[in-house]
């Protein structure tokens, strides 16, 4: 099967600030990538560029070995699922109606969701433990519930590539673990690909197998997590001493 996402000599900037230059990525099926970097370094801008929502300065992005900028938006919407850092409710809607938005890329003009679509949405809500809230108004949800609903909408969409901007945002510890468990398990079992921005080094170490670091002024570092996630690299990345400890057979990262 074709590689979900590749970049060739990609250069990205925003407001005169260079995010990356000469970036060559190949995100394969079953892989989970983490993007790390300081606040304001351009992580979200890069994620939006990979989704086709922000134009690169140079280079190419390929989705399933096809140039992203040549593909119909409908195909991109079916193939790429984006979890934004913030979500809004421009119109009143129920939890189930919001989850069903994930099926819209598959509908023709003036079509309504089918019972099969509704079944997928209900299954997704159950997966994030919101099945008892299907008819609740989204305006009454807490920040954590909104995040779980956003993830349920992605599960309803069922894309091959997941681009997640801080998926643990607003979630308590229990839901961070259960939802990331779910997303990563589905990625690996179903041959999808996942790339997520995070600030928690230990969640990145727990769930990702590859890492992309953004240092600023376009400099990047990428590779297998076991090789890239080191005290030296992290200390340089964040400008603060980071120590690594072995706890229960796992690596744990702690700032000094």
In this predicted model, what pLDDT tens digit does every residue of 101-150 receive, in sequence order?
A: 999 999 987 788 899 999 999 999 999 999 999 999 999 999 999 999 99
Q: For residue 167, give every residue at least 6 positions away whose Cβ sits within 8 Å of its Cβ, in sequence order, or none.
A: 83, 147, 151, 179, 180, 183, 196, 198
In whole angstroms, give the CA distance from residue 77 to residue 81.
Answer: 7
Instruction: Say whether pLDDT at 85 is over 90.
Output: no
All structural domains of the chain, each given as residue ranges with its CATH number in brackets, are 5-89+159-255 (3.40.50.300)
Mean pLDDT of 156-166: 97
**Adjacency order of strands within the sheet including 5-14:** 17-27, 5-14, 58-63, 66-67
Report the SS3 class of residue 196: strand
Give the pTM.
Answer: 0.95
Number of C-beta neighbours around residue 132 at 10 A: 10
Phi, psi of 7 (to 5 degrees): -130, 150
Task: For residue 211, list its beta bridge partners.
Answer: 34, 223
Mean pLDDT for the stretch of residues 53-63: 97
Give ∠ CA 9-32-163 in degrees, rounded to 5: 70
- pLDDT tier at 151, thresholds 50, 70, 90: very high
Going by DSSP bridges, is the β-strand pair 32-36/250-255 parallel, antiparallel, or unpaired? unpaired
């Amino acid at each position: 099967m074709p590689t979900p996402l590749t970049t060739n000599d990609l250069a990205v900037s925003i407001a005169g600030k260079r995010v990356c230059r000469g970036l060559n990525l190949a995100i394969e099926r079953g892989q989970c990538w983490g993007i790390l970097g300081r606040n304001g370094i351009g992580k979200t801008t890069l994620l939006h560029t990979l989704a086709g929502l922000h134009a690169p300065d140079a280079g190419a992005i390929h989705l399933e070995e096809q140039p992203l900028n040549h593909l119909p938006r409908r195909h991109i919407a079916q193939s790429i699922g984006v979890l934004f850092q913030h979500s809004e409710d421009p119109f009143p809607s129920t939890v189930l109606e919001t989850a069903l938005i994930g099926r819209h890329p598959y509908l023709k003009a003036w079509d309504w969701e089918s019972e099969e679509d509704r079944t997928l949405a209900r299954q997704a809500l159950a997966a994030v433990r919101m099945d008892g809230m299907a008819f609740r108004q989204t305006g009454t949800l807490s920040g954590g519930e909104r995040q779980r609903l956003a993830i349920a909408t992605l599960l309803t969409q069922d894309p091959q590539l997941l681009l997640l901007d801080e998926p643990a945002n607003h979630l308590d510890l229990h839901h961070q673990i259960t939802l990331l468990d779910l997303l990563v398990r589905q990625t690996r079992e179903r041959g999808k690909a996942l790339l997520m921005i995070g600030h928690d080094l230990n969640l990145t170490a727990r769930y990702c197998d590859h890492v992309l670091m953004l240092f600023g002024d376009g400099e990047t570092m990428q590779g297998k997590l076991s090789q890239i996630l080191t005290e030296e690299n992290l200390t340089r990345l964040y400008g603060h001493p980071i120590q690594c400890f072995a706890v229960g057979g796992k690596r744990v990262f702690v700032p000094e």
